[in-house]
Amino acid sequence: SDLREQEERGELLQPLIFILLVLCSVLLYFKVSLMDPGFVKDDEEADKSEEEGMVIPQVLSSVKMRRCGYCMVKQPMRARHCQLCQHCVRRYDHHCPWLENCVGEKNHPLFIVYLSVQLVVLLWGAHIAWSGLPFEQSWDWLQHNALLLVSFLLIVIFTIIVLLLLVSHLYLISCNTTTWEFMSHHRISYLRHSELENPFDQGVLLNLWRFFC
């Protein structure tokens, strides 16, 4: 009867949504970590790079596509060889140690969705932990609530990390650049020889549209 009354008041809906969000987060984690991030498989596939058709002609004329010295495939522009995955990855962003997989052309949008869902779960978890902490200045209170307090602090730390990661990725996506290109601009030939600081930037709205759609 108590469960039925709670259901009628809508009190069971929130925990159900929270559990579904956690489940969604776990499924997204496995999906992003296990899927092909955009491995370059052969010369024929490498020649079909969509970004090469969008790049400014001056960049293409001054930069020659090179063959990877590790896996011996012809690298399309914006691809990079990952020493950990032992593959060249299209539109390489970074190798994520938490996922044990690269973030590249195919799984980067899902990676952003995963971070977004994870952030919602962490914020909700922080709210739940905070609401269960009736602060009192006593040793007994600290003994009884130590685990909840530590959990809250850990959630806050993870929330800050995920928030900063998500914001930085959204900023780079809005500029149509990658973490690798942003960090190694001076070492990348097609950026170093370009007259523009970022030859791929087509405006915030178009950059976001091309990335997510």
Catalytic amino acids?
96
Paired tokens of 164: 């900063």
Please, how many CA atoms are within 13 Å of residue 132, restricted to the half-sphere of its CB?
15
Per DSSP bridges, beta strands 87-89 and 101-103 are unpaired
Cα(31)–Cα(205) distance, rounded to whole angstroms?
A: 27
Q: Rounded to 5 degrees, what are φ and ψ at 67?
A: -90, 135
* Cα–Cα distance list, 185 to 76, 181, 189, 199, 209 (Å): 17, 5, 9, 12, 24
Q: Is 101 helix (H, G, I), strand (E, B) or coil?
A: strand
Cα(93)–Cα(102) distance, rounded to whole angstroms?
A: 8
